[in-house]
Structure 1
Amino acid sequence: MTNPRGNGLRSVAEQSEEERGGPGSILSRQSRDHADLDALMRAYDDEPDADARGRVVAELAERALRHAFAEETVLFPAYRQHLPEQGEELTRHIEGDHQQVNELLVQLQDADPRSPDYDATVRRAFEVIRHDAHDEEDDLLPRLQRVATEEELRAIGAAWEVQRRTAPTRPHPKVPRRPPGNALAAVPLAVTDRVKDAAEHLAAGSAVRRAALAGALVGAVVAAVAAARALRRR
């Protein structure tokens, strides 16, 4: 893409929460999530222990995948609706980056953090994630801000948050990057991902933690069922 700083738009990173439309606006939600992802990437850089680095990558992967899924199911369709002449090109670019991140995270999922190639793969994923965050905050989100009302930005933000909370937690490169295919595939994948997540934690957790995780799994299943019902109502 062209240099976003030459587009005459003001980056949402330079705006106050009020200017973005409040805490519930998609601009504010995206910006907060980008900051959280950046903090995890910096935590990886600061962590000398290989096992701890692997745990940081696992947490970042889950958050990045949820973030991307919410973009693909809610935010990118909003771009294409509100920016019919530009939205297709803008979103296709980042969808390609999301596909690349999914493929890199598949490689990292069962990799040994001590292996020679691990850090290089992590760095490639970080580069794409950071590139996307800058493109979105400097270019895509300000474009949407120009044409959407604050009420519309908050409605997009609320829908984005629902999808983020119920999204799959593991990489699935073969899933379509656009609705309705990605949204329909997400319902069973969100359940199976959480079953796998819970099984991994249960194997190592205390009795109290196991009980808490079992409760979280039940909640995840309920959320996935609710998402499926919402899809049927559309």
Structure 2
Amino acid sequence: MNAISLLTQDHRNVEALFKRFEATDDPKEKRSITDKVIEQLSVHAELEEQFFYPAVMAKVDGSGKDDVLEGIEEHHLAKVALWELERLPATAPNFDAKFKVLSENILHHVEEEEADGGIFADARKALKANELEELGDRMQAARTTVPSRPHPLAPPTPPINRLLGLPVAVLDRAVNTGKGLLRAVLPGAR
């Protein structure tokens, strides 16, 4: 699968979750949607930071490199918000506001990446079609081996993020499973 197509599909999936969040007033449903957003955005950011951004960075200069660096910084801010949302009860007075700020920032990030002069356009110019396909295949294969929870203090660039990625991913998935079991036994648990 083409790397840009894979990332664009991730964008559409998260946008759909944002709309579902806006359409409900039920705190349990908001928590469930937020948990999905946290997991999907965490995986998406890791795939971009471990694979897509380095591939683009190696082939572009000037504004293309600036686009990558800006993307990394936007990811960092998103990870902080995701980390906070992960710990905040859906009934907290600022939960909806924090989610709204996150969604607005993500939608801005998506718009920039997909714009005519954005990083996806940079990648289409800098990488050959077969390179984008191979990159997308590697990203898809790595989807289950990258962290699935936000780690705002973790390094965002290779090689450290790749070295830490798999052990952290295993721990993240264990935590996600434990949270699911806890919520099944104790409704209302975060």
Q: Which amino acid aligns with 2:66?
A: E
Number of residue pairs the alignment of both structures matches:
183
Match of 1:191 among 170, 187, 190: 170
Match of 1:104 among 81, 98, 102: 81
Match of 2:30 among 42, 53, 59: 53
Give me the whole-angstrom Cα distance separating, in 1, the residues matched to 2:66 and 2:96.
32
Shift of 1:127: 1.3
Shift of 1:120: 1.0
RMSD (Å) for aligned C-alpha atoms: 1.5
Give me the whole-angstrom Cα distance separating, in 2, the residues matched to 1:86 and 1:35.
26
Shift of 1:205: 4.8
Give me the whole-angstrom Cα distance separating, in 1, the residues matched to 2:183 and 2:26.
19
Give ranges in structure 2 of 5+ residues lacking alignment: 186-190
Match of 1:171 among 150, 153, 156: 150
Shift of 1:31: 1.2
Do the aligned residues in 1 keep the contact of 2:81 with 2:98 (CA within 8 Å)? yes
Q: Which amino acid aligns with 1:126?
A: S
Give me the whole-angstrom Cα distance separating, in 2, the residues matched to 1:149 and 1:109.
39
Structure with larger RCO (C-alpha < 8 A, sep 6+): 2
Does residue 136 (structure 1) correspond to residue 113 (structure 2)? The answer is: yes
| Equivalent residue runs for 1:110-149 within 5 Å | 110-138=87-115, 139-149=118-128
Give the aligned partner of residue 27 of structure 1: 4
Shift of 1:84: 3.0
Match of 1:79 among 50, 53, 56: 56
Cα-to-partner distance string for 1:182-223 (whole Å, 9 max, x where unaligned): 1111121111111111122234559xxxxxxxxxxxxxxxxx
Do the aligned residues in 2 keep the contact of 1:69 with 1:163 (CA within 8 Å)? no
Give me the whole-angstrom Cα distance separating, in 2, the residues matched to 1:121 and 1:202.
26
Q: Secondary structure at the match of 1:116?
A: coil
Does residue 66 (structure 1) correspond to residue 48 (structure 2)? The answer is: no
Match of 1:159 among 120, 123, 138: 138
Q: Secondary structure at the match of 1:82?
A: coil
Do the aligned residues in 1 keep the contact of 2:56 with 2:123 (CA within 8 Å)? yes
Q: Secondary structure at the match of 1:172?
A: coil
Do the aligned residues in 1 keep the contact of 2:39 with 2:148 (CA within 8 Å)? yes
Give me the whole-angstrom Cα distance separating, in 2, the residues matched to 1:163 and 1:89.
26
Shift of 1:112: 1.3
Match of 2:15 among 33, 38, 44: 38
Give me the whole-angstrom Cα distance separating, in 1, the residues matched to 2:6 and 2:17.
17
Q: Which amino acid aligns with 1:163?
A: A
Give me the whole-angstrom Cα distance separating, in 2, the residues matched to 1:119 and 1:32.
25
Do the aligned residues in 1 keep the contact of 2:67 with 2:119 (CA within 8 Å)? yes
**What's the TM-score once normalised by structure 2's chain length?**
0.91
